[in-house]
Amino acid sequence: MKFNSQVVMTSSGASGVTHLDIEQVIRNTTFEILKTMPTRLLYTPTGILCNRDEQLSHFMKSEQYKRLVSQCRTYDRHQQMDRIYADISRHFQYVTLSHRWGKGEPSLRDIEGRTIYGVSIEGGFGKLQAFCRVALEWNYLWAWSDTCCIDKHSSAEVQETIGSMFAWYRQSALTIVYLSDVADTASLGSSEWFGRGWTLQELLAPRSLLFYTEDWSLYKNSPFSNHKTDVTLLAELERETGIDRRFLTSFSPGLDDARLRLQWASLRRTTRPEDIAYSLFGIFNVHLPVMYGESAENALGRLLAEIVSQSGDILVLDWVGEPSPFHSCFPAHITSYQMLRLPTSQPNAEEQCLAINPQPTSFKALRELRGSLATSHLPHSLGRSLLPSSITHRILPVHQRTPVSYASSEVYDFHSLARVPLPRFFNRLLTLPCIAYNVTSVQLKGADPSTPSYMYNIVTSGLMPLEIALPTKLEDLTRPQAVLHLVRPWHSKLLGPSADLDAVTDQQILSVLETPFNALLLTQLPHNEHKRIASSTLIIAQPRNRASILKSKIRIFNVV
**Strands of 32-171, DSSP E:** 41-43, 48-50, 94-99, 142-144
pTM (predicted TM-score): 0.83
DSSP conformation letters of 435-503: EEEEEEEEEEEEEETTTTEEEEEEEESSB--EEEEESS----TTSTT--EEEEEE--GGGG-TT--TTS
How much is the pLDDT for 8?
Answer: 37
For residues 298 and 369, the model is more confident at 298
How much is the pLDDT for 358?
Answer: 33
Question: For residue 522, is pLDDT > 90?
Answer: yes
**Strands of 57-149, DSSP E:** 94-99, 142-144
Weakest mean pLDDT among 209-223, 246-260, 396-410: 396-410
pLDDT mean over 289-304? 98
- Rounded to whole angstroms, what are the CA distances from 341 to 120, 206, 376, 489? 51, 34, 15, 19
* Alpha-carbon torsion (65, 7, 82, 19), positive or negative: negative
Question: For residue 9, is pLDDT > 50?
Answer: no
| Sequence ranges of the domains in the chain | 12-92, 258-337, 351-559
How much is the pLDDT for 494?
Answer: 82
Weakest mean pLDDT among 99-103, 115-119, 238-242, 490-494: 490-494
Question: For residue 386, is pLDDT > 80?
Answer: no
| pLDDT band with cut points at 50, 70 and 90 for residue 173 | very high
Q: Which residues pair with 504 in a beta bridge?
A: 393
DSSP strand pairing (429-448 vs 424-426): antiparallel
For residues 358 and 99, the model is more confident at 99
Average pLDDT, the chain: 84
Interior CA angle at 387 toward 382 and 390, to 5°? 65
At 125-165, the pLDDT tens digits run 999 999 999 999 999 999 999 999 999 999 999 999 999 99
